[in-house]
Amino acid sequence: MIQAFRHHARAGWLIPCAMVGAILTAVPMRAWAADDPGQWLEKMNKALANRNYDGTFFHVSGGRVETMRIVHRVRAGRVTERLQSLDGPGREFVRNNDELTCYLPDQHTVLVEPRQDRGPFLGSLPQFGADTSEFYRIEALPDARILGRTAHVIAVNPKDQYRFGYRLWLDEKTAMPLKTQLCDSHGEVLEQILFARLDMPENIADSELAPTVKTDGMRWVRQGPAHEATSSSLSALRVSELPPGFKLTVEGAQTIGDASAPASHLVYSDGLATVSVFIEEQLPAAAPGAATASDPAPAMPSDAPVQGLARVGSGYAFSTVVQGHQVTAVGEVPALTVEFIAHSVKGGAEPAHR
């Protein structure tokens, strides 16, 4: 009897304990799941790709600010979007599913180009897998108020100096990025986008997606699909060494400007940052058809080899000459990275991190 009582008492004491334990472990689990920054990035990607939105934002980069409008509509599986610069001559990009049209009124030109990627203009981030988390650390920062709304703040921090990071302010209700910053590994802001207005209407009229540019008398230029990569069109030069985490993802050929021969185009990525390496088969100076003698004012040294570092947008380009080839590495990465990659282009060797 005593024995049974004891047993019963112990069990009676254990049950609430187990329940408390279960609650204690469940609470942080649930809180973690709700605030998991990876899930929020995923929500953002979905919102950017699948929702209708019409917003005006500032693009602040390099001390300049541009006002832009984005209209994005998904209807019956078709994605149409328009990105319009509200300043100056008013360039506009319109994407209709997989065709990108660039209206450049100041150039009297309309460029039409097939785009295989169907990512939204405003962009998204790739899924964070084991590969990416090796080189980036995602963290949730304290919530903030922006545009009078509560936003989850998520930082994607690079773990070394070979890549840039992001900070994103995601609307609590819609997961739309109300503010985005591109940062270097010290956390300094290189570029940012701030929405001043963002509507997410049920329907968007066709007229909102039509370019405002008048195309009368403009030149239409249609780009063909990219060259097939054939072994003969690819350079024998290879990147012999890469910064940690970068792998070859695309290999192709591309005619650059008025070059007579296509350049090898190698794309390396760490899963988030991307660097393109262009290797031109011959130096442009030797290219037939490059006019210099009759050029009245050869102000652009377009026929001279390019060397050294240049800033391009929010990233860098580094050019060098290797065995008579023009080699340029370009990407939204620190100068260090393009320099590293361009300098490691050599003849014949296989990439170390392939």
Partner 1 sequence: MSEQIREQVSAFLDGELPSTETELLLKRLTRDGELRESFGRYALIGESLRGGSHRLLTTGFASRVNLAIDGEPLPASVAVVQSHAVRWWRPFAGAAVVAGVAAVAIVAMQQRSLAPGAGTPGLGTSAEIALNAPAAVTSAAPMLAENREALSYTVPAAPASAPAAAPTGRLTNYMFAHSKYSYGLAQRGVLADLLINDDEPVGAARAQPTQVPARVAP
Residues between 61 and 90 with contacts to partner 1, criterion CB under 8 A:
61-68, 83, 85-90
Say whether residue 249 binds partner 1 (CB under 8 A): yes
DSSP letter assigned to residue 227: B
Structure token digits, residue 85 = 């610069």
CB 339 within 8 Å of CB 231 = no
In the list 154, 170, 182, 204, the residue contacting partner 1 (rule: CB under 8 A) is 182
Tokens 């994005």 correspond to what residue?
A: 72
Q: Are 95 and 81 in contact (CB under 8 A)?
A: yes
Q: Does 297 bind partner 1 (CB under 8 A)?
A: yes
If one asks whether residue 243 binds partner 1 (CB under 8 A), the answer comes out as no
Tracing tokens 């990627």 back to the chain, one arrives at: 117
Q: Which residues, in sequence order, are CB contacts of 87 under 8 Å at separation 6+?
A: 66, 67
165 binds partner 1 (CB under 8 A): no
Closer residue to partner 1 (CB): 238 or 265: 265
Q: Does 91 bind partner 1 (CB under 8 A)?
A: yes
> Per the structure block, which two tokens stand in for 140?
């949730």
Helix (H) or strand (E) holding 36: none
Minimum distance from residue 183 beta carbon to partner 1 (Å) = 8
Binding residues among 133-152 for partner 1 as defined by CB under 8 A? 144-148, 151
Which SS3 state, helix, strand or coil, does residue 324 take? coil
Nearest CA to 58 out of 136, 120, 127, 147 is that of 147
Contact assessment for residue 88 and residue 105, using Cβ atoms and an 8 Å cutoff: no
The nearer residue to partner 1, 25 or 150, going by C-beta atoms, is: 150
Nearest distance from residue 243's CB to partner 1, in Å?
16
Smallest separation, CB 276 to partner 1 (Å): 4
DSSP character string of 38-53: HHHHHHHHHHHHHS-E
228 binds partner 1 (CB under 8 A): no
The count of chain residues that interact with partner 1, using the rule CB under 8 A, is 124
Write down the residue that tokens 């334990």 correspond to. Answer: 21
In the window 11-70, what residues touch partner 1 (CB under 8 A)? 45, 48, 56, 58-68
Stretch of 25-33, 72-80, 191-199, 203-211 lying at the interface with partner 1 (CB under 8 A)? 191-199
Closest by CA position to 184, among listed 311, 67, 37? 311
What stretch of H or E contains 21?
helix 2-35
Q: How far is the CB of 304 from partner 1 (least distance, A)?
A: 7
The region of 24-32, 71-79, 240-248, 306-314 touching partner 1 under the rule CB under 8 A is 306-314
Q: Rule CB under 8 A: is residue 255 a binding residue for partner 1?
A: yes
Q: Is 171 in the site for partner 1 (CB under 8 A)?
A: no
Phi, psi torsion values for 332, nearest 5 degrees: -85, 65
Read off the tokens for 57. Answer: 């934002």
By beta-carbon proximity to partner 1, the closer residue of 27 and 210 is: 210
Give the residue, chosen from 157, 274, 282, 320, that forms a contact with partner 1 under the rule CB under 8 A.
Answer: 274
Binder among 9, 14, 27, 309 for partner 1 (CB under 8 A): 309
Q: Looking at the chain, how many residues does it have? A: 354
User: According to the binding rule CB under 8 A, does residue 107 interact with partner 1?
Assistant: yes
Binding of partner 1 by 124 (CB under 8 A):
yes
Which CB atom, from 224 or from 348, has the smaller least distance to partner 1? 224
Q: Among 55, 90, 43, 121, which residue's Cα sits nearest to residue 212?
A: 90
In the complex, least distance from residue 253 CB atom to partner 1, rounded to whole angstroms: 11
